[in-house]
Amino acid sequence: MTKKYFGTDGIRGEVGTGSITPEFMLKLGWAAGKVFCCGDSSKVLIGKDTRISGYMFESALEARLSSAGVDVCLLGPMPTPGIAYLTRTFHAQAGIVISASHNAFQDNGIKFFSGRGEKLDDETEHRIEEQMERAEEGMSVVSSIDLGKAYRITDAAGRYIEFCKSTIPSIDFSGLTVVLDCANGATYHIAPNVFTELGAKVVSLGVSPDGLNINRDAGSTNPEKLAEKVLEVGADLGIAFDGDGDRVVMVDHTGRVVDGDELLYVIAADQKRNGRFEGGVVGTLMSNLGLEQALGRLKIPFCRANVGDRYVMAELAGRGWQLGGESSGHIICLNSTTTGDGIVSALQVVSAMILGGKTLAELTSDIQKLPQLMINVKIGTDVNARELCGSELLTSEIARIDKEFNGKGRVLLRPSGTEPLIRVMVEGEDSKLVTEYAEELAGIVRTAIS
């Protein structure tokens, strides 16, 4: 059954439009309350990133959850994976994240976690949407004695910091200089404390959120300033998170950006060396062929899921594997936590550096990525992106390019699950051909929507 509101990663859009309004959040809060209410022990956690609209939506959700008889625990600014962890440890029925991840401050969104700290399954999302349809007819309020109470969890940050540190062996980071870019987002008060308490010398960027500067020229989607700072201070490495802290990319001591594919390889190779690796690695359709080849040399199985952590997680569960992720830096380490976690993933990599006595550049030297170019083509709200990507015109062009690559490249055309974009990706051994084909295909998409 097609869902009306939930996409591949919750509900997301521009504040004040569509579903991202206070009125919609009131209905969503009431609907979620109806689904998760289970008597006196009903409890839902709410956390958010640092964008200004989070306060508005937090209040709306709190009010309607309470009116449905559910207690609300407010976490304040907290990374998405931190909310997942706390939902589990507080034995709550659900956790709600108010965030638009790596998007600019004008956007916001909602994600849910189950009581197990995992993304909601389709059935539960359908149940929430069914209740939202009933909300159109009017939202009842439980009797005063049954109203939910609201609490603020004052030690939420400290709890999550301790959890992050517990995911690696007892290792001293002393002597390590690390530059952290927190994107003026939800990790701003978490990540610097984690690395400082482990003994590293920390230089922090993007730790002064004002509600409007989240992800602005910072974080995992804009690592240029991080690379500059690593070279400026002579750091051992740099680490960049996105606005809600579930993604991470790094910079080695030479200033080179290390993406999610390479970080996945480092973690898998380290676990293999130390006898802790089981199963294989799940990537996505966007994962570089170089990752697959490098894992193959280590005799580590590899498979591809559709783009999106939901699909990576489903593939991991189906195969009983523990490690997967995306080239964007969304990495899932199921032997440490239940969802993608930028800080936990970064700690796995730094641990591999220290235990192996190698730099990040040395740990990534065995993975040779093929030239890959992705072009994002903006589309209007009136364009059916999925239909366009599957049109005869574009499928025939992709078939032609595939034939000309003759097995030495890949083409992928897909609608974004979080933004009004069509992503054109071309990968191959010849960088000139990669650029030529990507620009050609993007031009065809632009012409088709004009």
Catalytic residue numbers? Answer: 101
Q: Which of 245, 266, 260 is nearest to 77 (CA)?
A: 245
Give all strands of the β-sheet with 331-333 in edge-to-edge order: 302-305, 281-284, 323-325, 331-333
Angle ∠(104,110,111) on CA atoms, nearest 5:
115
DSSP letter, residue 10: B
DSSP string covering 118-144? SBPPHHHHHHHHHHHHHHTT------G
User: Under a CB-based contact definition with an 8 Å cutoff, are residues 333 and 240 in contact?
Assistant: no
DSSP string covering 166-215? HTS-S---TT-EEEEE-TTSTTTTTHHHHHHHTT-EEEEES----SS-TT
Q: Which of 382, 397, 396 is nearest to 443 (CA)?
A: 397
Q: How many Å apart are CA 243 and CA 390, to the nearest integer? A: 32
Q: How many Å apart are CA 363 and CA 349, to the nearest integer? A: 9
Residues facing 7 on adjacent strands: 10
> Strand 372-378 relative to strand 323-325: parallel, antiparallel, unpaired?
unpaired
Burial 113-123 (b: 16+ CB within 10 A, else e): bbbebbbbeee
Q: Which SS3 state, helix, strand or coil, does residue 21 take?
A: coil
Could you count the other beta carbons within 10 Å of the beta carbon of residue 56?
15
Tokens standing for 154?
Answer: 């004052």
Tokens standing for 55?
Answer: 């306060």
